[in-house]
Amino acid sequence: MFHKFRIPLRRAIYLDSDAGVAFCSYSYFPRWGFSKDLSSPNRHSLIVKCRVAENLNLAEDPHRRLNPLTNEWVVVSPHRAKRPWQGDVAPLPASVEPEYDPNCYLCPGNVRAGGIHNPHYASTFVFDNDFAGLKTDIASDRFDLDRKRLLVAETERGICRVMCFSPRHNRTLATMCVDEIELVVRAWMQQFRELGEIDFVQYVQIFENRGAMMGASNPHPHCQIWATQSIPQEPSKELASQTTYFNTHNRCLLCDYLELERGQSVRVLCESARFIALVPFWAVWPFEVLICSRPHIGSVNEFTDDDSRQFSAMLKQVTSTYDKVFNAPFPYTMGFHQSPTDGAEHPEWHFHAHFYPPLLRSATIRKFMVGFEMLGTPQRDITPESAAERLRALVQGCS
């Protein structure tokens, strides 16, 4: 009996479960227990002896998982989840933010760097970052000592903006209502469209750092928007993987991935007609979440009114669920990966948002990327399935 199944970034494999043999139309395999029989008369129809993972228990055995978006691995060590903790257990500082802070440089009417006064805004507020990491008024140039591509540098033009979500200093996406979040989403749509139309801008990255643990310099609810001359490193890796998959299968990588996840359902947190939130199979951070559009959408430029509404509700659901995990404000870095604005068509790209929260065992105990994770491969103890189960128990429902 033949069964067809897919391996991320590879072509379809047909498995004969009776003979224990697989037939594939591609000549390279990742190291997943496949051994190639190169004696096949057709080098593009290799016969592969496939070791089915009958002995691998994903809930108990140490193993590694592939992230098909970046083609990188994460080591999962479920058996370590019960180890005793003797690390940092600093108490969570009690702080209640006021609705308006006269010392906050993001609150309405207050003074920013250089004596600039904020307007008395009543909704969202966008301005060019007073301490921008990139500039627009620099000449294009490149440095390559002796043309050996060892000491290389090149100019990077860009625009950096800050967007306040609300005039209220003590609000967050988790505490804002869906109507308020939708105003934020529509502002993101406007900024993405405006910046993406600038001739030198190839990519627009929208991201939020929430909480001092993530390096946020101000608790006022806000995000940053960077429009860059080149496609940044992380989206570049995802672009390469999605392009390879699309060219190989004539299908979208994330569309196929979502079909598998919805079929298993163990990592799905909630879904609506247009969006789905889940803990990805390859999650690195303890309570990492991926939000994807269910239909194939490349960017917020393609959002309908219904999309902006449902995406707002999904953001509210995920962020408010996070705050229930340890009954405290949940820090994270969140950002959208959207199709490049380089003027090319990108049928391979699928809109998605990443949430990377560092908390591990409590509101003060975080995961650190150190040791083997810095020098070797990222590693986690809590399985993505266990994290999803915990988050799903706190979800109120999606609409």
Active site residue 120: no
User: What are the b/e assignments for 110-138, b being 16+ CB within 10 Å?
Assistant: beeeeeeebeeeeebbbeeeeeeebeeee
Bridge partners of 46, per DSSP, are 24
What is d(CA 227, CA 223) in angstroms, rounded to the nearest whole number?
13
Residues 222, 350, 352, 354: which is the catalytic one? 222
Which strands, in side-by-side order, build the sheet including 13-16?
2-5, 13-16, 21-24, 46-50, 34-37
3-state SS class at 222: strand
Q: Is 287 exposed, middle or buried (0-12, 13-18, 19+ CB in 10 A)?
A: buried
Bridge partners of 349, per DSSP, are none
Tokens 């540098």 sit at which residue?
A: 153
Both tokens assigned to 119: 């307007």
CA within 13 Å, CB half, 361: 15
Q: Known catalytic residues?
A: 222
